[in-house]
Amino acid sequence: QVQLQQWGAGLLKPSETLSLTCAVYGGSFSGYYWSWIRQPPGKGLEWIGEINHSGSTNYNPSLKSRVTISVDTSKNQFSLKLSSVTAADTAVYYCARTRMFVWLHEGMDVWGKGTTVTVSS
């Protein structure tokens, strides 16, 4: 059974760079897209971006200028960097797998447990 384990710094100061990594265990890394999603306290889900095993990325236009998602296929891991964080970036950050049917993005079927990131001076 596929599991996602994520980690990274939970407390940041404004202007710092958020850095999270998600490791994929128990399943194939290729054939899927791998996403980052965040959820501010008491609010809904916001998609940040995704990457596949060959490094092809798609980003949320509202965050694109600050986001970099990368992949390390040798370790079955993918990572998120979000630069110049502010208090508005305080959220629970999730990694997730998108199941694919050919080129169709069908849905996010495996999720990490989430990492709480707080931005405060």
Partner 1 sequence: QAGLTQPPSVSKGLRQTATLTCTGNSNIVGNQGAAWLQQHQGHPPKLLSYRNNNRPSGISERFSASRSGNTASLTITGLQPEDEADYYCSAWDSSLSVWVFGGGTKLTVL
Residues that bind partner 1 (CB under 8 A): 35, 44-47, 50, 58-62, 94, 96, 98-99, 101, 104-109, 111-114
Q: Residues 27, 42: contact at Cβ < 8 Å?
A: no
Q: How far is the CB of 107 from partner 1 (least distance, A)?
A: 3
> For residues 7 and 15, which CB has a smaller minimum distance to partner 1 in the complex?
7
Q: How far is the CB of 109 from partner 1 (least distance, A)?
A: 5
Q: How far is the CB of 47 from partner 1 (least distance, A)?
A: 4
CA distance 93 to 85: 13
Q: Residues 22, 5: contact at Cβ < 8 Å?
A: yes
Tokens of 12: 């940041």
CB atoms within 10 A of CB 68: 16
CA distance 29 to 51: 11
> For residues 58 and 90, which CB has a smaller minimum distance to partner 1 in the complex?
58
**What's the half-sphere exposure (Cβ side, CA atoms, 13 Å) at 114?**
12
> For residues 50 and 89, which CB has a smaller minimum distance to partner 1 in the complex?
50
Q: How far is the CB of 80 from partner 1 (least distance, A)?
A: 15
> For residues 19 and 39, which CB has a smaller minimum distance to partner 1 in the complex?
39
